Structure 1
């Protein structure tokens, strides 16, 4: 839009019926004619032909059976009706221009609905939320924490804007974008017999009592991939949904566990838990991912969220 008349009154115009009976172009012609009091100069200002400008103004008046100008030769003089509607038209076009500029920038971040698996949701996402919301518009973030399967289903149904998962996923409807590397670490209480071992063997892993995440979690999926060949022989005492419950059970020496290094960092620093050295031929490396619906519009908010996550 080219309109630069200063705004004197912000008022809304209420329209009856499903469609507006005028166009913004007609309003631009009306305001330009009011400013220049001449349709030729108004058309030049709007970079349109004189006949097109004259037709637009005439159509606006005919649609509502009104007259906005007193016509004296080539001069257009606003009448009382034109003076009444001029500030309303100015306000409406100013709001339209503001919206047009906002849509063109694609830069304002808004409220987001984020889904995250347990490790990511409890140990990484909250810090990202604080940064995302600490902007002038104060956008809100709704965070849902669940397992990989649940988060994928919610993204697939457009109930979440973006998901953050720690498990492998194959879906024709979802875009799976690598985010950051992670590593699972076996661990035990400091007084556990295995805590004194410099290197574990597969036999040590078979004889150990395990406290594990539940089936279907990304952590369990990565653990089973790393323990390939040993799974039928493992002694799994407990399967728990919450990482803190697993850590507490291991601290009381009920068994050993295997969780993300993100989850265990503070406990290792305090010495309440200790890492166990895996057999050299076994690895628990894995990847965290963003997931988006392939038909989902990539808004500025989604891009900003991903940017903050990558900066962790």
Structure 2
């Protein structure tokens, strides 16, 4: 074999950091050793994987072509190494989840995944849909759990579970006593909303088609708990996933609102994977636990 796994690791680190010094630090190597490994890899096959501009390394067309293949090969090698050393097929996992899923569903799955004799580690990043999709696309996350639909040729979207958005208000809000709301009520209300780029906002705007230009949006917040507190304080009404409102409805600190029947707030949660990503036993186990919720 003309290349080593170490050379491939240097290639991926350099592609990620776009700087050989930072790539070397991430692999606990000297800068000269990392630079030599990358140079040897290119020289052995008489290829160039990066465009070099000063100290910056930018993947060229050939580098971008081979990056997913190298990522997949090293993932399989890492899983095999862990199986040899720990006698386990399930290894550490890097998971990304959107806010609703990350804050209300993923932590329970993490506990089950890590509760095995080998105690595999799970790192969880919580962000909005567009951020999670980008990090899965860049191989920075093994799998993403999202609540919005995306269009990305590199990513595979796998349906997970159904969800519904629910409009809600504080018990003392004037709309709390209405059996159902009209479109005029929705126009007149003051809204506390999730930010642009979130899956929740995407689903809300789809359900409010035709009313969007007329809505009075007072605040756009990135966190569901902040939205719930603002609504509890009487600043307006909100619309979030039933998953994150269930406890508040039970306590009576918030109350659901019935929107017109033609306003559809149903949606789908998805798993997202890079199409070139090696589907490890750990990823399969994670998806199995999620589906069992």
- Name the TM-score, length of structure 2 as normaliser: 0.71
Shift of 1:187: 0.1
| 1:286 CA drift (Å) | 0.3
Q: State the Cα deviation string for residues 67-124 of structure 1 (Å, max 9, x = none).
A: xxxxxxxxxxxxxxxxxxxxxxxxxxxxxxxx79x58xx9611000000000000000
Q: Secondary structure at the match of 2:166?
A: strand
Structure 1 residue 171: Cα displacement: 1.0
Does 2:163 match 1:182? Answer: yes
Q: Secondary structure at the match of 1:154?
A: helix
Matched, 1:287 2:268: yes
CA contact (8 A) 1:107 1:300 kept: no
Q: Which runs of 4+ in 1 moved over 3 A?
A: none
Q: For residue 146 of structure 1, what is the aligned residue in structure 2?
A: 127
SS state of the match for residue 162, structure 2?
strand
Equivalent pairs, count: 213
RMSD: 1.7
Gaps of at least 5 residues in structure 1 are 1-17, 19-98
Could you list the per-position Cα deviations for residues 146-189 of structure 1 after superposition, in whole angstroms to 9, with x for gaps in the alignment? 11111111111111000000011111100000000000000000
Cα distance, 1:213 vs. partner? 0.4
Structure having the higher Rg: 1
| 1:150-299 correspondence runs (5 A) | 150-299=131-280
In structure 1, the residue matched to 2:23 is none
- Equivalent residues of 1:212, 1:246 under 8 A apart: yes
Asked if 1 retains the 8 angstrom alpha-carbon contact of 2:129 and 2:148, the reply is yes
Deviation at 1:283, TM superposition (A): 1.2
Q: TM-score, structure 1 length as denominator?
A: 0.66
Distance in 2, matches of 1:143 and 1:280, equals 37
Structure 2 distance, partners of 1:182, 1:107, is: 34
Q: Residue 66 of structure 2 corresponds to which residue in structure 1? A: none
